[in-house]
Amino acid sequence: MAAPRGKTKRATRGQARESALAVPGLAAHCYASPEFFARERETIFAREWLCVGRLEDVPNPGDYASFELLGEPLMLVRGRDGEVRVLSRVCRHRSMILVEGAGNARSFTCPYHSWTYGLDGRLAGAPEMDRTPGFSPAKCALPGPKIEIWEGFVFVNFEPKAKPLAPRLAGLARHFRAYRIADQRGVRSFEFVVDWNWKVMCENFIEIYHHIGAHRLSLEPVLPARLGRTEPAEGPYTIMHSPPKKGVEATGWMAGGGGAALPPIAALSGEQANLTTFAHGFPAHLMSFFRDRIEYYLIFPEGPARTRIRKVICVLPETAAHPDFEAGIATIAEQFLAFRQEDVMVNDGVMRGVRSRYAPRPIFSHLEETVARFAGYVRAQAGARSC
């Protein structure tokens, strides 16, 4: 007699979890070695889709926002045609940086020799170059990485032949459809530069096992680690659900937080409205989902032990118009900054520990399946047996 379909599916999921947990985590040098970080630059960051912002960062024609990604000076630009592009900020003449910061411009003029570029990157003017044999303005447009928009997020890929991103994240889009990710708008942001490897940040984000220790007085009373559950693997991402303790309403991060609460997102199911959920799109796209908002992190690795991070809190337009909006967002920001210090402490400690000659390979709890799957992704992409 064939086993019931539900039992078969649960058994398959259990086997997949056991398989992921059976493999030890990444070796310590993968978090501190300049050589391994150089390998990641070539095998992961030069070939994978990396999130660099949102369409809303440049809402109007002429808006631009500059940033650096793995040493590449780039900018997010909205053209007069309404299209959003990611262009190099390096002048095609003698490599001067064209622009810094953010703002609105009709064009970009190099401060060195006044070469001028349109918002679409095409060279519009180059003084005294008419006598240069073979000079072609058409060949001097600002280049840039491949770009794709997913749910309002802007992703780039330095590999010109990279496969489209959307099919890889189709499961994520389906799972979180009710949150209307593309309609969300950033209302608070925080920027940090930390002395951590980028993977330490991602691993800490995507597991709640550490609520037992690092957050035992803040998050654990509201979101107990033992209740965490992981969605089955469907693509290059992980999803971790964190239900609240029985009898506790998931309106805020911390026990006794108080403060004003924002209204829940209307389209959420009863279960979704009572969950905090974390999603990690490999390699480094981090999102968290709440009954009233979403949050995300932009991760910019700058070295084996240095990462620039931007955290953004987003709400739907109707939430921003709610009378309790300012008070509610103030409460959320206050709670985040409070428990963030607990994460800083443990991530600092991990970075000290991985430099030890006695640093072990991680052995995972069933609550760390998400970390185990991420380690498998890194190991497969880097192609390094030593990790």
User: pTM for this structure?
Assistant: 0.93
- Pair (200, 329) in one structural domain: yes
CATH number of the domain encompassing residue 56 = 2.102.10.10
Question: Of 157, 179, 212, which marks where a domain is finished?
Answer: 157
Q: Which residues make Cβ contacts (< 8 Å) with residue 141, sequence separation at least 6?
A: 92, 117, 120, 121, 122, 123
pLDDT the model gives residue 222: 92
Q: 98 - beta bridge partners?
A: none
Compute the average pLDDT of residues 314-320: 98
Compute the average pLDDT of residues 30-50: 97
- Pair (250, 375) in one structural domain: yes
**Higher-confidence residue: 51 or 4?**
51
- Pair (188, 231) in one structural domain: yes
d(CA 144, CA 73): 10
pLDDT tens column, 69-125: 999 999 999 999 999 999 999 999 999 999 999 999 999 999 999 999 999 999 999
The answer as to whether 93 is a domain residue is yes
Above pLDDT 90, what percent of the chain? 88
Q: Give the pLDDT band of residue 385 (cuts 50, 70, 90).
A: confident
Mean of the per-residue pLDDT values of the chain: 93
- Pair (90, 31) in one structural domain: no
Q: Give the pLDDT band of residue 140 (cuts 50, 70, 90).
A: very high
Structural domain boundaries, residue 153: 50-157
Give me 331's structure tokens. 């409460």
Q: Give the pLDDT band of residue 261 (cuts 50, 70, 90).
A: confident
- Pair (70, 95) in one structural domain: yes
270 CB neighbour count, 10 Å cutoff: 7
Compute the average pLDDT of residues 228-233: 96
- Pair (255, 275) in one structural domain: yes
* DSSP, res 243: P
The answer as to whether 6 is a domain residue is no
Instruction: Give the closest residue to 241 by CA, choosing from 260, 223, 217, 222.
Output: 223
The answer as to whether 361 is a domain residue is yes
Give the count of domains, the chain. 2
- Pair (315, 362) in one structural domain: yes
- Pair (147, 216) in one structural domain: no
Instruction: Give the closest residue to 199 by CA, choosing from 387, 373, 21, 375.
Output: 375
- Pair (332, 271) in one structural domain: yes
9 pLDDT more than 70 = no
* Helix residue spans in the chain (DSSP H): 5-22, 34-40, 170-175, 198-205, 317-320, 325-353, 369-382
Q: Give the pLDDT band of residue 383 (cuts 50, 70, 90).
A: confident
Q: 298 - beta bridge partners?
A: 310
- Pair (59, 132) in one structural domain: yes
CATH number of the domain encompassing residue 300 = 3.90.380.10
pLDDT the model gives residue 1: 46
Plot region of 315 (φ>0 → left; ψ -120 to 50 → alpha; else → beta): beta
Q: Which of 35-44, 226-235, 242-251, 329-338 is least confident?
A: 242-251
State yes or no: cis peptide before 283, omega within 30 of 0: yes
- Residue 269: burial class (beta carbons within 10 Å; 0-12, 13-18, 19+): exposed
The answer as to whether 342 is a domain residue is yes
Strands (E), the chain: 50-54, 63-69, 72-78, 84-88, 102-104, 108-109, 116-117, 123-125, 146-150, 153-157, 185-194, 229-230, 237-242, 276-281, 285-289, 294-303, 306-315
Instruction: Give the closest residue to 70 by CA, choosing from 95, 41, 91, 96.
Output: 41
- Pair (27, 38) in one structural domain: yes
- Pair (204, 351) in one structural domain: yes
